[in-house]
Structure 1
Amino acid sequence: VINDLKNIGVIFYSKKTNTVYVAQEVVKLLREIRGKSIADKHFRRILKQLREPQINLVCKKHNIDWRQPLNTKIDSIINKGISLTNILENEIHKEGTYLNDIKKFINELNEKSFNIPNPTKGVTVEEKIENLIDYFNEMEKEEKVSISMDGYENLLVDLKKNVPKSNDVIRSHFELQDENVMDISYLLEYNLKPRDILEIFQEDMLKDFCERREIKQRGDLISNILDSYMDTENLYLENYENIAFRRLNELKENGIQISDAEIGVKFEDLTKTILQKLGLNVDESLRKQMNTKNDKADIIINIGKNEVIIVECKSVKENGYNKFSSVKRQLKAYFDMAEKNGMKVVKSLLIAPEFSDEFINECELEYELNLSLIQASSLYNILEGFKSSNKEQFPYKLLMRDVLIKEDRILKAIK
């Protein structure tokens, strides 16, 4: 069977690891062949927004026992392959419901339950339902997990501790083959995110979990749990590149509310946090002592023996930072400022989302400032690589060699 599926292009197969891989595009196609407009996990999310009497109407029309617990009824509807469009258009409405009332119901579902952009888009009922389907199919392509990776990892640890047989529930529900499935990397390979996991548990189990973890129970339990695992610092760090590029829309979609005016300071603060996590001595008291009214360095790294590294941060919307002359003037002023305070500047670093070829070329010709350039994405990746190394402090001398810091070389060196 595996050989046949491989030959017609449905799957990839690794003989070495005995593993079958299915591409997302193929998953979507197979879903369409089975008559499913969206993933089962999103279908469940929609059904959970309906009132129980509406779910009962669907059950009665399809010979499903409507006296079962709500979650069991929802699973039965999904497993029967009942059409989402049919449910929203016909099956949850009593006979004689006006067309305008059906449209109003779908508009409210789109707006209040899922905060869909342009919730009233579409004239006919079919177009409005298509708007909902498109929203969830776009969501399927996204990699964001709504909370930080660390938050997701902590959630899985706490579920394992506090919810009996949680591993078995997840494994059985999503038909996963490994014995231990409560691993963040493993679940994300199957595109299973925190909300997808929480939605499969019965309400009484979630209530018990909230009680044990001292999470508020008023309102929506799943939203309350996700909020408590938000871990803002890591969420900001995971969006470090978006902040560097001032991508306000992407930040908003990832749960970060910030104004354009606040981004510059936030980029500096996050850069300090990354450098501190690398074990470097970000010396705030020395920076304040050195800074003047007109010349204010963003970050000073104190490496001892009266030697420092000066770090300048630039967050910009345009691709390819290209203002070398202004940066040169700034850094030269900081060099002079450091020397007046008896400090020797052994290195200067400029961190920006990316740099133009022209900027890099000009930097290569500059010898006085001993300047190196680091892209924001590279700095974040260096931090991630450093976490898995056995070092307590990042060897800063690795930053001394290149004009444009090559993350691959540094990651290889620290490993």
Structure 2
Amino acid sequence: MKLEKILDKLGSIEKNSFIKIIDNIISKKPSSIKEIEKILSSTDKGLKSVDNQNISNIFSLTSEDFLNQIRCEFQEVTSQLDILIDIIIRDGNCIMRQDWFSRLYESEIKNLKIRIKELNNELENEKSELGEERKRDYRIYRSCLSTAYNNDALNNREAKITSDELSIILTLAKELQLSQEEVKLINYSILPIKKVDIHDVINSLKNIGVIFYSKKDNTIYVADEMVRILRKLRQKDVADKFYRRTLKSLKEPILNQIAKKHNIDRKLDYSVKIEEIINSGISFKSLLTTDIYKEGSTLTDKKKHLNELCESSLNINNLKGSTLEEKISSLVEYFENVEKDEKVGISIDGFDKMLTELNTSLPALNKLLKNKFELQDEFVMKADFLLDYNIKPRDILDLIVKTDLSNFIKDNGIKQRGDDIANIMEHYKDAENLYLENYANVAYRDLNLLKENGIAIKESELGLKFEELTKVIFSNLGFNVDEKSKQKLNTNKDMIDILLNLGNNEVIIVECKTSKEKGYNKFSTVSRQLKSYQKLALHNDLRIIKILLIAPEFSDDFVTDCEMDTEMNLSLITASTLLKIVDVFKTSKYQVFPHVLFRDIIINEERILKALNK
């Protein structure tokens, strides 16, 4: 869930710790201070009085500073912060009720102790599958850590690891190519590990700003933006779902090669082996730098292999960069952009339909999703629910084994030639709803964004498409979009876009305007046009309740000119506002949108949304 959306859900007390931390960062004059001061200039009461959208923008500007502040918390190596962060950055753990988080924490401690015991046995067993070279690496790291931790006790001081010692230990782990999980297992074989009270755990995470906690519903929230920062802290280059997508594109001998190097059982089932590799904490970049190639591969071979992997298996063409490192960084950046992107790839309705039909064809999928994403709810196959966890259609399809995917395609009449996942996504695209979700992009005539979102349309068709979509929106708001009466009124000279018939000879006239330019600024032209429509309606004995003008946005001059006009009862609505209104209207108590709410010169989005939510 995005930070702004979480902040909207919480009260001021629940946001207080986070706000204090950001305020403290701002007081130290970070490099982005000028941009921050521009945002804060609209208020003289500081960060607390800034709206949630701008708090989110300020957090984005201070994210590196925030990361450095959290990094300092790792100086206290007995804090269990690594364990806790590894839980909250997993896909699906961004929203958790307290009891569920407590269960995950207990399970993590229990599993950690079991795996530490297994590792110690492997090190002592001469016949273990763990290679001598890897045993040597583990022993070197463990001996150095033990010395760093216990040397204080020898001098009658409290046992701890200083920041200087920690920096050396981290460098050693990197040079020995130890995964995060390997480091964690060895660390806690030396450092004391005990279960902490869950309330203390929540408070400690809340006080350093990485989680929000709502006492009202006993729920922990971790913002998507925060997860990306914490992932960087734990040196996880990509989300688990993208790691899984990449591993699934590898052949089993390569997976066995990776498993052997990192002490993972090669006899495990293919899909289980993939999950073990993900959970082992092996760096994604390290995996693509060395682990997936045959022994003796040249640099040219590696680059060729990586290109083939991206193009044929991941459908990512033209990977940027000339060196291997640049290509890997380009792939990581690609996955980061996909994760940040709010686009779903298909419409929300299409997503819901896909989930319904998946549930019918593959009834075990609900349980698989619950387990893979550690979700608490019993039934999780709902589009809105999954999107709050940033789980998209492609992420779900990646979990399904090929045979089940093929059967689903046959059961639902989906195209069978070509890539299975691409065919499923295309089948559930749902063009009308996809257009509605891109309503603002149509208004702005943004062909590039529309193309990226899977919409192919000619520029000459955008004006008409915007009008058609606006009709659909007003129909969804319960209005009678009266085409017959409009046709009777229209002349060759005056052509009303949309006529809403309220009954009793009362109407609302709607005019639709698209524009590439920022800030619609053609009041004199549009006012003459609207006054002609007004005369036309009055001449036919119709009472005009309101004239509405829909555009991507309006300049300050346009709004001022509109305010000065005394001849028309005109209100201005941006496309994005109208889309939010219809979205909230769906869950409101109203059957027909109360048009009396259209009373401002420029429609106040916040006021209308509050009225609909009452």
Whether TM-score is above 0.5 comes out as yes
Larger RCO, structure (CA 8 Å, separation 6 or more): 2
Residue matched to 1:349: 548
- 1:291 partnered with 2:490: yes
- Stretch moving more, 250-259 or 89-98: 89-98
User: Is the 8 Å Cα contact of residues 319 and 331 (structure 2) preserved in structure 1?
Assistant: no
Q: State the distance in 2 between where 1:310 and 1:410 align.
A: 20
- 1:198 partnered with 2:397: yes
Deviation at 1:368, TM superposition (A): 1.8
Q: Give the aligned residue type for 1:370.
A: N
Residue matched to 2:81: none
Deviation at 1:61, TM superposition (A): 4.1
Superposed CA RMSD: 2.5
- 1:247 partnered with 2:472: no
- 1:14 partnered with 2:200: no
Residue matched to 1:404: 602
Residue matched to 2:409: 210
Deviation at 1:66, TM superposition (A): 4.7
Q: Give the aligned residue type for 1:307.
A: E
User: Is the 8 Å Cα contact of residues 303 and 324 (structure 2) preserved in structure 1?
Assistant: yes
Deviation at 1:232, TM superposition (A): 1.4
Q: State the distance in 1 between where 2:507 and 2:388 align.
A: 43
Task: Select the structure that is richer in helix.
Answer: 2
Q: Per-residue CA shift, 1:72-120, capped at 9, x if unaligned?
A: 2322221222232233233333234342232233234444555557x34
For residue 225 of structure 1, give the secondary structure of its aligned residue in structure 2: helix
- 1:389 corresponds, among 565, 576, 588, to 588
Residue matched to 2:270: 70
Q: 1:35 to 1:363 in 2, by over 3 A?
A: closer
- 1:369 partnered with 2:568: yes
Deviation at 1:132, TM superposition (A): 0.4
Residue matched to 1:320: 519
Residue matched to 1:264: 463
Unmatched 5+ residue regions in structure 2? 1-200
Q: 1:379 to 1:109 in 2, by over 3 A?
A: same
Q: Per-residue CA shift, 1:210-234, capped at 9, x if unaligned?
A: 2332323333222222222211111
Residue matched to 1:97: 297
Q: 1:323 to 1:90 in 2, by over 3 A?
A: same
Q: State the distance in 1 between where 2:542 and 2:235 align.
A: 70
Residue matched to 1:82: 282
Residue matched to 1:23: 223
Among the aligned pairs, what percent are the same residue?
A: 55
Deviation at 1:315, TM superposition (A): 1.1
Q: Which structure is larger by alpha-carbon Rg, 1 or 2? A: 2
Q: 1:104 to 1:292 in 2, by over 3 A?
A: farther
Q: Per-residue CA shift, 1:103-148, capped at 9, x if unaligned?
A: 233234444555557x342221011111101111222222221111
- Stretch moving more, 46-55 or 162-171: 46-55
Residue matched to 1:184: 383
Q: State the distance in 2 between where 1:368 and 1:7 align.
A: 57
- 1:333 corresponds, among 523, 526, 532, to 532
Q: 1:67 to 1:259 in 2, by over 3 A?
A: farther
Unmatched 5+ residue regions in structure 1? none
Q: Aligned residue pairs: how many?
A: 413
Q: Give the aligned residue type for 2:605.
A: E
Q: State the distance in 2 between where 1:232 and 1:21 align.
A: 33
Q: State the distance in 1 between where 2:344 and 2:444 align.
A: 20
Q: 1:13 to 1:370 in 2, by over 3 A?
A: closer
Q: State the distance in 1 between where 2:350 and 2:227 align.
A: 28
Residue matched to 1:233: 432
* Residue correspondence of structure 1 range 294-305 to structure 2 within 5 A: 294-305=493-504
Residue matched to 2:557: 358
Q: Give the aligned residue type for 2:600.
A: D
For residue 481 of structure 2, give the secondary structure of its aligned residue in structure 1: coil
